[in-house]
Amino acid sequence: MAVIRVTKEFRFEMAHALWNYDGPCRNVHGHSYILYVTLAGEPVKNADEPRNGMVIDFGDLKKIVRENIVDRFDHSLMVSGFAPAETIEVYKQHFGNVIVSPYQPTCENIVADIAAIIGGKIPSGVSLHSVKLYETATSFAEWHASDNR
């Protein structure tokens, strides 16, 4: 038996603003996010199965992440629910797709949220190994299952 890791890359554009932050990221600004989702499992070993030799069909992984993450986050503005209601209302009046998160929308918190969402959608026999989210070309946050047991 060999456990194999498979990874798929996704991209989306999203703006955010960090509430009560003392740096420039307190202002609404956007990023071109790059997301890597890695699953682990044993490849199917049954010649009669259509997915013989696969840990997961990359198309199935793409569907899970697209429907639950990319379609939701792409071209949205994510703001913290800690902001005053009046501020959130102004954002909603000026931007079409506002996500009010229950956390400060840092790269670290977003990657943990993505891991929680995807983790609940992965088919049995496969596990979420890691999620890496690039916020800029040189800055990213990672979530690993081994660190979160």
**Any idea what the CATH number is for the domain that residue 59 is in?**
3.30.479.10
Q: Count Cβ atoms within 10 A of the Cβ of residue 119 and give its class: 0-12 exposed, 13-18 middle, 19 or more buried.
A: middle
pLDDT over threshold 80, residue 1: no
Q: Active-site positions?
A: 25, 75, 135
Range of the domain at 136: 4-147
pLDDT over threshold 90, residue 4: yes
Residues 41-71: tens digit of each pLDDT: 999 999 999 999 999 999 999 999 999 999 9
Q: pLDDT class for 149, splitting at 50, 70, 90?
A: confident
> What's the total number of domains in the chain?
1
Q: Bridge-partner residues for 127, per DSSP?
A: 40
pLDDT over threshold 80, residue 23: yes
Prediction pTM value: 0.95
Spatial neighbors of 111 by CB under 8 A, at least 6 apart, are 131, 132, 133, 141, 142, 143
In the chain, % of residues over pLDDT 90: 98
Q: Which helix (H) or strand (E) segment is 87 a member of? A: helix 85-94
